[in-house]
Amino acid sequence: MKKYYIPILFLAIVFIGSPVFAGTEPENSGTVKLSPGMELKQIGTVNRLVPVDMKVVDKDGLVTTESMGEYVARRFIETEKHFNVIENSLAEIEKTLSLMQEEVEQFKGALKALPRELPKNTKETLETPAE
């Protein structure tokens, strides 16, 4: 019977000091490690761990966060709009690139039409004059 006293006494000391059994909520002292993209928001008197951009909603005097379905739907719509903007930008870039490629081909054709060497009867040289 004596061998059970020590573990029971140890557990009692540990649990009495625990905030769960003491009835107090631990404060965020800044030492709590949060997952990336998550934050601790105080909603009323309760601290909730929620995504950074989750909205706090006031429904008839009840302050809460938007439901997970609403959050996911809103984020999906925002992401879809963002992708549409990226697709439009990419289409513009592709159009500009094709125009630039056509201009490069025109310049290549113009360069081929130029003579490779200067005529031998001219006195022009490619040297720059000395200063």
Quote the pTM value.
0.47
On the question of pLDDT at 21 being above 50, the answer is: no
Q: What is the pLDDT of residues 117-129, one digit of tens each?
A: 766 665 555 555 5
The average pLDDT across 36-58 equals 82
On the question of pLDDT at 56 being above 50, the answer is: yes
Count of CB atoms situated within 10 Å of the CB of 54: 19
CA distance 37 to 51: 6
Average pLDDT score over the chain = 77
129: tokens are 């004059």
CA distance 53 to 39: 9
pLDDT class of 29 with cuts at 50, 70, 90: low
CA distance 126 to 131: 15
Best-predicted range by mean pLDDT among 7-11, 14-18, 90-94, 122-126?
90-94
For residue 31, CA distances in Å to 26, 28, 34, 47 come to 11, 7, 9, 15
pLDDT at 15: 61
pLDDT at 131: 54
pLDDT at 10: 64
Q: Which residue reads 């984020």 in tokens? A: 75
On the question of pLDDT at 40 being above 80, the answer is: yes
On the question of pLDDT at 59 being above 90, the answer is: no
pLDDT at 85: 96
pLDDT at 17: 57
